[in-house]
Structure 1
Amino acid sequence: MAGDAMIGLSIFVVFVILMLAGVPIGVALTLGGALGIWLADLGMMSLPNNFYAGIAKYPLLALPMFVLVGVIFEKSGVAERLVNLAIAIVGRKPGRLPLVAIAVAMLLGGISGSGPATAAAVGGVMLAAMARAGYPPAYSATVIGAAAATDILIPPSIAFIVYSVLVPGASVPALFAGGLFPGLLAGIALMIPAAWLARRHGFGRTDGETKRPPFWPALQAASWGLAAPVLILGGMRMGWFTPTEAAVVAVVYGLFVGMAIYRTIRLRELLDILVDAAETSGIILVVVALASIFAYAVNTLGIIDPLARAITGSGLGSYGTLTLIVLVLLGVGMVLDGISIFLIFIPILLPMMRTFAWDPVWFGVLLTYMVAIGQFTPPMAVNLMVSAKLAGVPIEQTARWAVWFVLAMMLALILLVAMPDIVLWLPRSLNY
């Protein structure tokens, strides 16, 4: 037993040292896990076996398809048409453009489920418009980066697909349904500081100097984009297709809209789109596969259970333990991406979830919500990296604005903890 404990300690020490040295997360997980397998004499053939087993799971088939959907809709011009529709609805009064950016990001979240893709799509349209209206680039980049974080909550969500593979009892349809209201709540929470900051600093005073688009033509142009989430989610609810099949349907629909309706995607551009999606999907799936080696070593050596028992037996209780998890994951979210956080921490958190009888769907939405906050919390904020790059500002300049959006999301997170039915009412109503 003492030998296993020392091996377990060696695994984590090597992993942390490699991470601090800047080694890619997948490589650090693999080397740490491989060390444990070698020291415990578990058989080196378990390395390729677990690499394959980590991604040989049916729900993961949907992941590359939804990544491809995000790239297709980013290139198709859907974001620009949704922006025009949003402006036609709310008008061009001062302080409205940040609200438009957040609303459009939420709508795109119902299509792609990828925060960085949405940050790129919305940023490509909104940053120039907000700059013309007098919004500082750092503020605009923060609004768009924060708004794009709602996309991993609003279904379909790549993060929910990965979570469903790691956690028994949490189906993809149930997670999709459970994330809808929290995603809307997150969007509303972000709109409040966005509007308050714009008014406090006098941003957007020239919002109303450009002509307001006519409503009906704007609605007609945006209708194909608005129909996408209805097709994806409605088709799953009606039983026409599974989440994996829905991803394929969404790809076909996106290509039809981009190539035949809007004609913004040409045949020669299709290869570049496929390459972009393949690169992103490959990175995610390789990290998932490599993390399976680490998880196998940790679980086989029985390292997790004593750690989980120590935390649950510390007297913190359900809410105290949940508060500790929130603080740890928010801190980790500043330096790691969401998929890596899931792969590293879910094996540790599963025994606690069972001990306190937390609903796996509710707990999954909470974890994803914490990851969403990390996506726009400097220094390692993937959404902010995209939006700040498009805005031409260092990510450090967004920190003074990001803190207000983080606080707003934290308040909404407290509401989700206090009122689990916000998450669970819809899945239960739909019998998921």
Structure 2
Amino acid sequence: MALALLFVFLVLFLVMGVPVAVSLGAASLIYVLIAGVPDVVVLHNMVAGVDSFPLLAIPFFILAGHLMNTGGITAKIFTFARSLVGWLPGGLGHVNVGASVIFAGMSGAAVADAGGLGNVEIKAMRDAGYDSDFAVGVTAASSTIGPIIPPSLPLVIYGVMASVSIGELFAAGLVPGLLMAVALMIMVAWYSMRRNYPKDGGFDLCALWHTFRAAFLPLLTPVIIVGGIATGAFTPTEAAVAAVFYALFLGVGVYRTLNWRHLLRVSMDTIETSAAILMIVAAAAIFAWILTANQAAAVLGNAMLGITDSKIGILFMMMLLVLVIGMFMETIAAITILVPVLIPIASTVGIDPVHLGILVILNLMIGLLTPPIGMVLYVLAEVANVRFEDCVRATMPFLIPLLAVLFLIMVFPQIALWLPQVVYR
């Protein structure tokens, strides 16, 4: 009865528009009072939930992304991507995807990608005569690549919650992220043929070289982060610190686009974002403890095994659950609630936790493109100055290639597991 009330109050608070962290904490506190659990359990689990060294990577990766955005790095990336793939039919659509792949190695967050590159990309596409729905749709879909290609804030959270190597998760995300880019570029090509979108000029090797030189130092960011982790030079947390120092080096020392006023604003934005994320993690830790104490994973696992004992069947049901949760809940909160439930089930049927992590994050990224929560949609509606409903309609067709990639990774786990096995095992 008390457990049922936990979910009833959580849904009630979310429907009322109460912030996710407060909803999770308040629903958990009501359960604690009804069930007669000692109050100290609440504080203990909140502190334990955020008392983790790998979680230090979150504010540093957020700060690095903000510094890159504020320092004008995104414009250099977009210009290079334009020279690289703009000559293809529907050129700016391909540029949109390519720029997101490059920026993914710097920000690690879909909302940062949508907010940072979105304004540049949508304006360029509109000025070139592209339909607004196409510009918004491809920008929204390509932003989901950010949390798959390392570094990735959601993968850091998953790694902490599942006690899985964050380095292995980062390595596992690289091939699926590139596969997402290929799938989206195929979709862009299909749109371009149907709507007769133009090329963005011809291929110019000289222009490519000049834009590459201009973007060379920013392009080293993912090399430093991923290369440092893969070679053991530093941990993922230390890699986040290295990314911040490198972003400062570029913004202050090389391009001189950052001043004290910019640094103050970026620092305050980072503190605000980090505090919101860690509050969700702390509140979700109580919620996850309640689910674990009530053996929710065992109950759900038994229910799934009662339907089928096939690994693919179980994985399909798990992904369906994640997709539904992702439509109604913010990514970080969904991870902290789902992981304690899904990991024991995955262990029972022999699903690799690294493989599961990539599937969960990709699935939750799709959730960012679906109403009613869809944070990327809200950001792009503001950036593109369009109605939220129009943003939803524009994005729906681009869910097809993303769902296709999700299905491929689910059926062929080696897509995600090949690189970690080469580097770490």
TM-score range, shorter chain: over 0.9
Q: In the alignment, which residue of structure 1 is the partner of 2:18?
A: 23
Q: Which amino acid aligns with 1:196?
A: W
* 2:129 equivalent to 1:137: no
Kindly state the Cα deviation for residue 428 of structure 1 after the two structures are TM-superposed.
0.8
Give distance in 2, aligned partners of 1:334 and 1:139. Answer: 22
Q: In the alignment, which residue of structure 2 is the partner of 1:295?
A: 288
Kindly state the Cα deviation for residue 39 of structure 1 after the two structures are TM-superposed.
2.3
Preserved contact between residue 91 and residue 200 of structure 2 (Cα < 8 Å): yes
* 2:397 equivalent to 1:417: no
RMSD (Å), alpha carbons: 2.0
Q: Which amino acid aligns with 2:12?
A: I
Kindly state the Cα deviation for residue 325 of structure 1 after the two structures are TM-superposed.
2.2
Q: In the alignment, which residue of structure 1 is the partner of 2:52?
A: 57
Q: In the alignment, which residue of structure 1 is the partner of 2:180?
A: 186
- Seen in structure 2, the aligned counterparts of structure 1 residues 316 and 394 have a Cα distance that, compared at 3 Å, is farther
Indicate the larger mover: 212-221 or 410-419: 212-221
Preserved contact between residue 87 and residue 200 of structure 2 (Cα < 8 Å): yes
Q: In the alignment, which residue of structure 1 is the partner of 2:118?
A: 123
Any stretches of 5+ residues in structure 2 without a counterpart? Answer: none
Of the candidates 212, 217, 228, which is equivalent to residue 210 of structure 2?
217
Q: Deviation per CA, 1:388-409, whole angstroms, max 9, x where unpaired?
A: 2111111211333322211111
Q: In the alignment, which residue of structure 2 is the partner of 1:84?
A: 79
TM-score normalised over the length of structure 2: 0.95
Q: In the alignment, which residue of structure 1 is the partner of 2:5?
A: 10
Preserved contact between residue 33 and residue 296 of structure 1 (Cα < 8 Å): no
Of the candidates 365, 370, 375, which is equivalent to residue 363 of structure 2?
370
Preserved contact between residue 142 and residue 384 of structure 1 (Cα < 8 Å): no
Give distance in 1, aligned partners of 2:60 and 2:110. Answer: 15
Kindly state the Cα deviation for residue 313 of structure 1 after the two structures are TM-superposed.
2.4
Of the candidates 25, 28, 34, which is equivalent to residue 33 of structure 1?
28
Q: Deviation per CA, 1:239-259, whole angstroms, max 9, x where unpaired?
A: 221111110010010011011
Q: Which amino acid aligns with 2:103?
A: L
Q: In the alignment, which residue of structure 1 is the partner of 2:338?
A: 345
Give distance in 1, aligned partners of 2:57 and 2:217. Answer: 22
Kindly state the Cα deviation for residue 316 of structure 1 after the two structures are TM-superposed.
5.6
Q: In the alignment, which residue of structure 1 is the partner of 2:190?
A: 196
Any stretches of 5+ residues in structure 1 without a counterpart? Answer: 1-5
Preserved contact between residue 92 and residue 212 of structure 1 (Cα < 8 Å): no
Give distance in 1, aligned partners of 2:167 and 2:203. Answer: 43
Q: Which amino acid aligns with 2:113?
A: T
Give distance in 2, aligned partners of 1:262 and 1:238. Answer: 29
Q: In the alignment, which residue of structure 1 is the partner of 2:397?
A: 404
Preserved contact between residue 120 and residue 387 of structure 1 (Cα < 8 Å): yes
* 2:238 equivalent to 1:245: yes
TM-score normalised over the length of structure 1: 0.93
Preserved contact between residue 90 and residue 199 of structure 2 (Cα < 8 Å): no
Q: In the alignment, which residue of structure 2 is the partner of 1:3?
A: none
Q: In the alignment, which residue of structure 1 is the partner of 2:91?
A: 96
- Seen in structure 2, the aligned counterparts of structure 1 residues 235 and 7 have a Cα distance that, compared at 3 Å, is same
Identity in percent? 36
- Seen in structure 2, the aligned counterparts of structure 1 residues 296 and 327 have a Cα distance that, compared at 3 Å, is closer
Q: Which amino acid aligns with 1:286?
A: M
Preserved contact between residue 115 and residue 148 of structure 1 (Cα < 8 Å): yes
How many positions carry a matched residue from both structures? 425
Q: Which amino acid aligns with 1:117?
A: A
Q: Which amino acid aligns with 1:197?
A: Y
Q: In the alignment, which residue of structure 2 is the partner of 1:357?
A: 350
Kindly state the Cα deviation for residue 94 of structure 1 after the two structures are TM-superposed.
4.5
Preserved contact between residue 297 and residue 345 of structure 2 (Cα < 8 Å): no
Give distance in 2, aligned partners of 1:316 and 1:187. Answer: 33
Q: In the alignment, which residue of structure 2 is the partner of 1:319?
A: 312
Q: Deviation per CA, 1:125-144, whole angstroms, max 9, x where unpaired?
A: 21211111111223212211
